[in-house]
Amino acid sequence: MEFDDKVPIYYQIKTVIYDQIIAGQLAPGDKLPAIRQLAVSMTVNVNTVQRALSEMIAEGVIISRRGRGNFVTDNAQIVEQLKQQLMTSYLKQLYDRLHRLNISDEQMVAELTAYIERQGDSNGNDIED
Amino acid sequence: MEFDDKVPIYYQIKTVIYDQIIAGQLAPGDKLPAIRQLAVSMTVNVNTVQRALSEMIAEGVIISRRGRGNFVTDNAQIVEQLKQQLMTSYLKQLYDRLHRLNISDEQMVAELTAYIERQGDSNGNDIED
DNA sequence: TATAGTGTAATAGGAAACTAGTACACTAAC
DNA sequence: GTTAGTGTACTAGTTTCCTATTACACTATA
């Protein structure tokens, strides 16, 4: 797996797993791959994965069952909270950044739309069948 | 100054200065504050500021004149390139993140618009005189 | 009971980022 | 020439992140 060398790996792992939960690839109650499994598939040390998991456990999103595995909480409300929280933080980051560049609210939406258009040119999503 | 402890400080300094250049607070040819000055105002060590500047110099955006100071390049084209590059990377980051959350292109624009609305409620920009 | 699969803990070492401090080199202005 | 303001370079020490390795604890199953 590829990581941004400007952000701690354990933190990026956390983001990836959280994103999977929000996207529904990991449903409430689902079992995560074994820690050693995750470490191998991400080409990372076990301790690094564990550090990511520790934080997620502390935040109540992951439930750890010794000898059995790690599971996504079955509390749908926590997952929903997580979703809102992450979505907002992502949007806020873009908003703050573009704001610092003196981009107005309207321009901001326009820029995003334009970017998506450009993406569409090469991806062709929604168009090809 | 406040920094995100998940990203190297020197890198965040670079971002701040680049943003100021793009926003026009630092025009082409302008002299930057002295390194020691920047270090004090950012509550950071001189070496950390210098590391940020070194990269910007290597990238051709900042020109260093020994004994005189550091200056923004007067090459407007370089500044314009920088602007496009940063804008795109900011947009791409949001796009990729929301995409991982299974948010469609249309939803994405809607979410951003909604976020801006929410901001407007507390900021009241464009409304008050 | 033995074994395989799992989470957890602890130690040791290396690399990167940051700080602190000192010294040197160049420029401009007196 | 001296001085103040500037960039540049170097060394030393601390902290955080990451890796490697070993050991232990619990669960399920044959």
Distances (CA, A) of A57 to A63, A87, B46: 6, 20, 39
Q: How many CB atoms lie within 10 A of CB B13?
A: 24
Average pLDDT for A99-108: 94
pLDDT value of position A126: 45
pLDDT value of position B127: 39
Short-list A102, A76, A77, A105, CA closest to A91: A105
CB contacts, 8 Å: A8 with chain B: 6
pLDDT at B86 over 90: yes
Short-list A103, A111, A95, CA closest to B23: A103
pLDDT value of position B124: 46
Domain boundaries, chain B: 9-74, 77-123
Q: How many CB atoms lie within 10 A of CB B12?
A: 20
Cβ–Cβ gap A102/B24 under 8 Å = yes
Contact A18, A82 (CB under 8 A): yes
Short-list A17, A9, A1, CA closest to A56: A17
Minimum-distance residue to D4 (CA–C1'):
B67
Whole-complex ipTM: 0.87
pLDDT value of position A121: 72
Distance, in Å, from the CA atom of B79 to the CA atom of B72, rounded to the nearest integer, reads 9
pLDDT value of position B122: 65
pLDDT at A12 over 90: yes
pLDDT value of position B35: 97
Architecture of domain A9-74: Orthogonal Bundle (1.10)
pLDDT band at B51 (very low <50, low <70, confident <90, very high): very high
Cβ–Cβ gap B108/A108 under 8 Å = no
pLDDT band at B129 (very low <50, low <70, confident <90, very high): very low
Quickly list DSSP for B40-103.
Answer: HHTT--HHHHHHHHHHHHHTTSEEEETTTEEEE-S-HHHHHHHHHHHHHHHHHHHHHHHHHTT-
CB contacts, 8 Å: A87 with chain B: 98, 101, 111
pLDDT in tens, B98-107: 999 999 999 9
The answer, for B6 touching chain A at a CB cutoff of 8 Å, is yes
Contact B65, B57 (CB under 8 A): no
pLDDT in tens, B19-43: 999 999 999 999 999 999 999 999 9
